[in-house]
C-alpha cells in the first residue's frame, strides 16, 4: 500500500483482516437490493425505449450506484454536508437519476429529438451534463447537497475542476479540515492510468491552499480478462500503478459482489473522514456493451465477449443470493422491480409533455442570489470602478510598508517598498501598485481575491512581492494585503505546483462556487498557457454556451516580443481571439448600454492594457459588472518597470472607468485635419511607436490609437476615431508575426466599421511558424522594419 504510517496500516489491516467483519443487517441488505434494482432497471428501461441511442450505460458495473450511495451515506453520518462529484460519461445518466436524484422525466425528455432548444446557448449531449440537488439523506437523516459537475468528453479533465470547487466551498463555509465538504471522483481504468491530469490533480492534494483534505476515487475497472474459467478473472494493474505514485491506499473489490462493494465503500468513506487522505476504490468489473450501445465489441474481442455473454447479471446473482438467505421472497423482489418500472413509465409519460429543452435545469453551480428569479442580470450597467483618493493613499501605504513588528525583510525589498512609497507621495502607480490598488480595494469591499500560479507570490519578474519573508526567522511570513482593514475579505496568494492544466482547472472550479470573488490564475510566461489548452477550449471559452454556467475566472498571461526567444514571448493572442464568438462582419446595434450589452453577449473578454490604471479598472470591472465572464489579460513584462508606463491617481478616482480604447490626446487631437495616418495598436508596442514618432518629428501627422479591449471589439469607438481623422489612411501595427497576434481579428472588424471604404494596412513582422526569433540582433532588425512601415507614409503606395 506504500503507506509509511504505522497507525494507518494497522487501521487498514483491522478493517480487512479481522474475521467476520463483513456483516450486514436485514434492512441493509434490503436497501442494497433496492438500489441494485434501480441501477439495473434504469439501464434496461432506457435500452427498451431508446435502443438505437447512445447513452453510455452502466451494464456490467451496476454496483457503482450502491457504491456511491454508500459513500454518501457514510460521509453524511460523519457530518459531511456537501459532496461534489466528477465522472466520465459511462453511467452518468444512472448516477444523475439514482444518486443525485434528478427527476426522471427531465432525463427522459433529453432523448426526444423533437424538443425545441431554449435560447440559452448551444447545449451539450445528455451524458455530459451536470446537476445540483439538495435533499434529505435517509440513512443519516441529515440534509446534504450534491453536485455532479458538467464535463466534456476529454477524460479526467473535470478532476481539477471538481477539486477547485470543493476547495472553494470549504473556504466559504470555514471548513479547514474537510469535515463538511468533500469530493468524489469516478474514473475509467485506462484514463485513470493514462491521463496525466490525474497525477497533476493528485499532487495538489497535500499542497497548502489546494488540499481538499482527501478525495474518494472510484475506478470503474473494465480491464478484466476472461479465461475459459470466468472465476479466474484478473484485474488491470493500472489503478495500482497510479496509487503507488500518489501514495494512496487502493481497495480492490469484485463489482459482481454488491455486499463486498458496500463494505469496501464504507471503509473508504471512513478512511477519508478519519485521516482526510485520498483513497482509491477499484471496482473490478466488465462492460457488457462496447464503448457505447452502438459499438460491437465482438469485432475486436470475440473470445472475451463470448464469456461475458454467458455471465449472469449482477442483480440476478445478488437477488438469488438474498432470496436463498430469506432476506426477501421472490414476490417481494418482483414487487420491488414492478414498483420501479412503474416509476419509470410514469416519468416517461410526463416527459412527453416537455416541449422545450432547458439547459438551465442541469446547472451544477447555481448562484441563486446573484441573478433574478429568471436567471437574468439584475441590471445592465456597471458603476464607476474608481475609488477615493483617501483609499488609494491608504492602500498605497500598506503596499509600501511592513505591517508587522520585528519583521526583517530583505534589503533589496526595502528599496522596492521605498520606491512604492515615493510613487504614492507623487500620486502615481506603476503596474504592481496598480494591481495592489485593485486587489486591496476589492478586499476592503468584502470581495475575496485569490491569485494562483507558479511563483505568483513574488511574481515571475520579481515585481509583486505580496508575501514578505522574515530574513531571520525561518518560514515566518507576512501578507500586507491582509492588513488593509479590520472587516476586509481574506486575500489568498499561493504558489502552485509546476502545473498549468491541473492548476488552471482548479482555479476555474474555485471560481464556480461564488460570483463574489476575484479568482486569478497567472502563467509564469503566457507561452505556457497551451499546456492547459483543454481547460481553455472545453471549459473557459465554451462553458457558458454548453452548460449555461457563467464564470469570472481571470487569466493573466505575460506577453511581449522582447528578444527572449520563441518560448518566452507570446501568449498566443490569436488563439484566444479566434475563439471569440462575435461576428466580424456585423456592426452591433447601437444602444445606451452598448458596451455592457457587448460584454453580456460575448463568451469571454480579451484585453491588452497599456496603462496600470486601465489594468486596475478592468480587474475591478470584473466584479462590478452584473454578470460573470472569463477575462483574458495579456500582461506586460518590460512595462512593469517602464518609466512611461505609470498612471496618475486622477485616472483611478470616482467617476473613472476602464477605457476600451485610448485615443491619441496629443497634437493629432488638436488638428485632426493634418493627420495623414492612424496607427491602431494594442499593448506595449504603443510605447515603441510613440518613441519612434517623436524621433521622426511626426507627432502631428500620425495618430496612435490603442485598442485596449480587443474582444468584444469597440466598434463604436473605432468608428468615431476613423470619422475624426477623415483624411488619414489606416494601419494596424503589431509586434507579433502577421499570422499571429491580433491582425486577423481586428482587420475585418475595422473594415466593417468603415463599411469597407478603405484598406487596413499591416505593419508588423512577417508570417512565421515560431512566435519569435531566438537571436537578439534579428529581433531588433524586425522591430525597426515594422516601425519603418508604420511611419513610412509611402510604405503602402502602389499596393492593393
Phi (first) and psi of residue 479, to 5 degrees: -115, 95
Q: Give the Cα separation of 629 and 598 in Å (integer).
A: 11
Q: What is the mean pLDDT of the chain?
A: 92
Strand 279-284 to 142-148 pairing? unpaired
pTM of the model: 0.94
Residue 229 has pLDDT above 50, yes or no: no
Mean of pLDDT values over 643-655: 97
**235 pLDDT more than 60:** no
Q: Which of 145-159, 180-194, 302-316 is predicted least confidently?
A: 302-316
- pLDDT tens-digit readout, 52-107: 788 888 888 999 999 999 999 999 999 999 999 999 989 999 999 999 998 898 88
| Rounded mean pLDDT, 454-463 | 95
**pLDDT band at residue 225 under the 50/70/90 scheme:** very low
Q: Can you give the pLDDT at residue 787?
A: 97
- Judge contact between 412 and 680, C-beta under 8 A: no
User: pLDDT band at 241, cuts 50/70/90?
Assistant: low
Q: Tell me, what's the pLDDT at 238?
A: 61
Provide the pLDDT for residue 356: 67
676-697: b or e for each residue (b if 16 or more CB lie within 10 Å)?
Answer: ebbbbbbbbbbbbbbebbeeee
Which single residue is written with the C-alpha cell 497507525? Answer: 7
Residue 242's pLDDT is 66
Lowest mean pLDDT among 5-19, 38-52, 153-167, 218-232: 218-232
In the numeric block, which cell numbers belong to residue 481?
494585503
- At 303 the pLDDT is 87
The model's pLDDT over 704-758, given as tens digits with 9 standing for 90+, comes to 999 999 999 999 999 999 999 999 999 999 999 999 999 999 999 999 999 999 9
| Res 797 pLDDT > 90 | no
The pLDDT value given to residue 368? 81
Confidence of residue 300 (pLDDT cuts 50, 70, 90): confident
Q: With contact defined as beta carbons under 8 Å apart, do 536 and 504 qualify?
A: yes
CA dist., res. 794 & res. 785, Å (int): 14
Q: What is the rounded distance in angstroms from the CA atom of residue 333 to the CA atom of residue 340? A: 11
**Residue at grid coordinates 450506484:** 65
Q: What are the grid coordinates assigned to 588, written together? A: 452591433
How open is the CA angle 152-56-222, to the nearest 5 degrees? Answer: 100
**Residue 358: pLDDT over 90:** no
Amino acid at each position: 500500500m506504500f503507506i509509511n504510517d504505522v497507525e494507518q496500516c494497522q487501521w487498514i489491516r483491522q478493517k480487512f483482516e479481522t474475521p467476520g467483519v463483513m456483516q450486514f443487517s436485514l434492512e441493509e441488505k434490503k436497501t442494497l437490493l433496492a438500489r441494485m434494482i434501480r441501477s439495473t432497471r434504469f439501464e434496461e428501461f432506457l435500452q427498451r425505449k431508446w435502443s438505437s441511442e447512445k447513452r453510455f450505460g452502466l451494464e456490467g458495473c451496476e454496483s457503482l450506484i450502491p457504491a456511491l450511495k454508500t459513500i454518501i451515506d457514510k460521509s453524511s453520518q460523519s457530518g459531511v454536508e456537501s459532496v461534489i462529484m466528477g465522472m466520465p460519461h459511462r453511467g452518468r445518466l444512472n448516477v444523475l437519476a439514482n444518486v443525485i436524484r434528478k427527476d426522471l422525466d427531465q432525463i427522459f425528455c433529453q432523448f426526444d429529438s423533437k424538443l425545441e432548444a431554449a435560447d440559452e446557448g448551444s447545449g451539450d449531449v445528455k451524458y455530459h451534463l451536470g446537476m445540483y440537488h439538495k435533499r434529505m439523506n435517509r440513512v443519516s437523516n441529515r440534509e446534504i447537497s450534491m453536485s455532479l459537475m458538467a464535463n466534456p468528453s476529454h477524460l479526467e479533465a473535470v478532476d481539477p475542476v471538481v477539486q477547485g470547487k470543493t476547495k472553494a466551498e470549504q473556504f466559504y463555509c470555514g471548513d479547514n479540515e474537510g469535515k463538511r465538504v468533500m469530493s468524489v471522483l469516478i474514473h475509467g481504468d485506462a484514463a485513470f492510468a493514462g491521463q496525466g491530469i490525474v497525477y497533476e490533480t493528485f499532487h495538489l492534494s497535500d499542497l497548502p491552499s489546494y488540499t481538499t483534505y482527501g478525495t474518494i476515487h472510484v475506478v470503474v475497472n473494465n480491464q478484466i480478462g476472461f479465461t475459459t474459467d470466468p472465476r479466474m478473472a484478473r484485474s488491470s494493474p493500472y489503478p495500482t500503478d497510479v496509487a503507488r505514485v500518489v501514495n494512496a491506499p487502493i481497495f480492490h473489490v469484485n463489482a459482481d459482489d454488491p455486499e463486498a462493494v458496500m463494505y469496501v465503500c464504507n471503509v473508504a468513506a471512513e478512511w477519508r473522514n478519519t485521516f482526510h487522505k485520498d483513497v482509491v476504490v477499484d471496482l473490478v468489473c466488465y462492460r457488457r456493451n462496447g464503448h457505447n450501445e452502438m459499438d460491437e465489441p465482438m469485432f475486436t474481442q470475440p473470445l472475451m465477449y463470448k464469456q461475458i455473454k454467458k455471465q449472469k447479471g449482477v442483480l440476478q446473482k445478488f437477488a438469488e443470493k438474498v432470496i436463498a438467505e430469506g432476506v426477501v421472497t421472490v414476490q417481494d423482489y418482483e414487487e420491488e422491480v414492478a414498483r420501479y418500472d412503474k416509476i419509470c413509465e410514469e416519468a416517461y409519460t410526463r416527459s412527453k409533455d416537455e416541449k422545450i429543452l432547458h439547459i438551465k435545469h442541469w446547472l451544477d453551480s447555481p448562484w441563486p442570489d446573484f441573478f433574478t428569479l429568471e436567471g437574468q442580470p439584475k441590471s445592465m450597467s456597471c458603476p464607476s470602478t474608481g475609488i477615493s483618493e483617501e483609499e488609494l493613499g491608504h492602500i498605497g501605504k500598506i503596499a509600501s510598508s511592513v505591517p508587522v513588528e520585528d519583521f526583517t525583510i530583505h534589503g533589496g525589498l526595502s528599496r522596492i517598498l521605498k520606491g512604492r512609497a515615493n510613487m504614492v507621495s507623487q500620486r502615481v502607480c506603476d503596474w504592481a501598485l496598480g494591481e495592489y490598488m485593485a486587489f486591496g480595494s476589492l478586499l476592503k469591499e468584502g470581495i475575496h481575491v485569490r491569485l494562483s500560479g507558479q511563483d505568483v507570490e513574488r511574481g515571475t519578474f520579481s515585481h509583486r512581492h505580496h508575501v514578505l519573508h522574515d530574513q531571520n526567522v525561518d518560514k515566518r511570513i507576512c501578507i500586507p494585503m491582509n492588513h488593509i482593514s479590520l472587516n476586509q475579505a481574506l486575500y489568498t496568494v499561493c504558489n502552485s505546483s509546476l502545473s498549468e492544466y491541473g492548476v488552471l482547472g482548479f482555479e476555474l472550479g474555485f471560481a464556480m462556487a461564488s460570483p463574489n470573488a476575484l479568482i486569478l490564475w497567472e502563467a509564469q510566461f503566457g507561452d505556457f498557457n497551451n499546456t492547459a489548452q483543454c481547460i481553455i477550449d472545453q471549459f473557459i471559452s465554451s462553458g457558458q454556451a454548453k452548460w449555461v454556467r457563467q464564470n469570472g475566472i481571470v487569466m493573466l498571461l505575460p506577453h511581449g516580443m522582447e528578444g527572449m526567444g520563441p518560448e518566452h514571448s507570446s501568449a498566443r493572442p490569436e488563439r484566444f481571439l479566434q475563439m471569440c464568438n462575435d461576428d466580424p462582419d456585423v456592426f452591433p446595434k447601437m444602444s445606451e448600454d452598448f458596451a455592457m450589452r457587448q460584454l453580456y453577449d460575448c463568451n469571454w473578454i480579451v484585453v491588452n492594457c497599456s496603462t496600470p490604471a486601465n489594468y486596475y479598472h478592468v480587474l475591478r470591472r470584473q466584479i462590478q459588472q452584473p454578470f460573470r465572464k472569463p477575462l483574458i489579460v495579456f500582461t506586460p513584462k518590460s512595462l512593469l518597470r517602464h518609466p512611461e508606463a505609470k498612471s496618475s491617481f486622477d485616472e483611478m478616482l470616482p467617476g473613472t472607468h476602464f477605457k476600451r480604447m485610448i485615443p491619441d490626446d496629443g497634437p493629432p487631437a488638436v488638428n485632426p485635419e493634418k493627420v495623414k495616418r492612424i496607427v491602431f495598436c494594442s499593448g506595449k508596442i504603443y510605447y515603441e511607436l510613440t518613441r519612434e514618432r517623436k524621433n521622426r518629428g511626426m507627432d502631428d501627422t500620425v495618430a496612435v490609437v490603442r485598442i485596449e479591449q480587443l474582444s468584444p471589439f469597440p466598434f463604436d469607438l473605432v468608428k468615431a476615431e476613423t470619422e475624426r481623422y477623415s483624411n488619414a489612411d489606416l494601419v494596424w501595427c503589431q509586434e507579433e508575426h502577421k499570422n499571429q497576434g491580433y491582425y486577423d481579428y481586428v482587420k475585418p472588424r475595422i473594415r466593417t466599421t468603415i463599411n469597407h471604404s478603405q484598406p487596413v494596412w499591416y505593419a508588423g513582422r512577417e508570417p512565421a511558424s515560431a512566435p519569435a526569433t531566438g537571436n537578439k540582433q534579428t529581433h531588433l532588425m524586425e522591430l525597426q522594419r515594422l516601425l519603418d512601415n508604420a511611419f513610412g507614409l509611402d510604405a503602402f503606395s502602389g499596393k492593393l
